[in-house]
Amino acid sequence: MKRILVTGAAGFIGHAVAHQLLRSGCAVLGLDSLTSYYDVRLKQARLETLHDQPHFAFQRLDLSHAAATRAAFAAFRPEAVVHLAAQAGVRYSLENPAAYTSSNIDGFLSVLEACRAHPVQHLVYASSSSVYGANTKLPFAESDPVNRPVSLYAATKRANELMAQSYSHLYRIPASGLRFFTVYGPWGRPDMAYYKFTDAIYAGQPIDIYNQGDMARDFTYVDEVVEAIQRLVARPPADTAASDEEPGRIDPGVPHRLFNIGNHTPVPLRHMVEVLAQLTGRKVRCRLLPMQPGDVERTYADVTALREAVGFTPRTPIEEGLARFVDWYRAYHRCG
């Protein structure tokens, strides 16, 4: 039975990944600090869906505590690590930047050091489409320059990629970084636009749409993100000269890759609101506001590398994914 450690196991993507790994016959140790960035009750509810699984264990842990992180690795001896814990959110990084250096930089360093002390077959870690920053070339490709971040959050995720690259170079840690594009679906994060819009619709409140509505996102359904992660976990980059041309490879001779995980279909935010209005059967009022600091107008993933690496790319239409989310939202929040 393969042992896989999942950080951020109480998070949106993390708990879904843990479920899928357990279904596939793995033993999973979940780590999470259960921060109060959003309602902790939602995180606890996600964990409750995992607690009855016989091969799942959970430990509450702040990854920035390096010694405790190494101890967890030493006790569990994971064969692979899926590192999803992070301080998320672009706008919150304007209010509380220290949370991002603690979680995203110090926490990731602890994970890298633990992988160095207790070698793993594969470290898969979360990056973000935010690293593309002020890039205007579409679609975004992994080979594009990413030296123009427009938020501290984006800067920390790019720092993670560089940290992983250096540790892969120095200590031959096989690593794959995943640039997620606006992941959505049941059990999602309440700070994300689709969730906030749904909250507002059921509360009879207006929806705030920035940049006067001229925004588009490459919305990626969570189940397909999980599928991509599971496939990639099983295919670590090889540390041989013959593998230098494999998809996602960043630097010849270094077992580190980067992949866009996106639906490769930008959706205008206005259309997303129209779909939510149809699904909820409610009238929607919109307030068109200026662009917010740290935001970008459009995201659009080139997923060629992912398709070539694992023979899979996300493709769920926004209408289908949002229908599943609204069904879950009604059940979880007990609203009609």
Q: Which pLDDT band, with edges at 50, 70 and 90, does 12 fall under? A: very high
Kindly give the pairing relationship between strand 80-83 and strand 122-128.
parallel
Q: Which pLDDT band, with edges at 50, 70 and 90, does 239 fall under? A: confident
Q: Give pLDDT, residue 241.
A: 60
User: Which of these is catalytic: 132, 153, 194, 300?
Assistant: 153
Domains of the chain and CATH, by start:
3-184+220-264+299-315 (3.40.50.720)
pLDDT digits (tens, 9 = 90+) for 291-323: 888 778 899 999 999 999 999 999 999 999 999
Residue that is written with structure tokens 């995201």 in the block: 299
Q: Which pLDDT band, with edges at 50, 70 and 90, does 10 fall under? A: very high
Residue 251 or 77, more confident = 77
Which percentage of the chain shows pLDDT scores above 90?
A: 85
225 pLDDT more than 90: yes
242 pLDDT more than 60: no
β-partners of residue 79 are none
Q: Give pLDDT, residue 68.
A: 98
142 pLDDT more than 90: yes
Its pTM stands at 0.96
57 pLDDT more than 70: yes
Concerning whether 153 is annotated as a catalytic residue, the answer is yes
Q: Give pLDDT, residue 297.
A: 86
User: Helical H runs in the chain?
Assistant: 12-23, 40-48, 66-76, 92-95, 97-100, 107-117, 152-171, 193-203, 222-233, 269-280, 304-310, 318-333
Instruction: For residue 179, give both structure tokens.
Output: 């640039």
- Residue 78 burial class via C-beta count within 10 angstroms: exposed 0-12, middle 13-18, buried 19 and up: buried
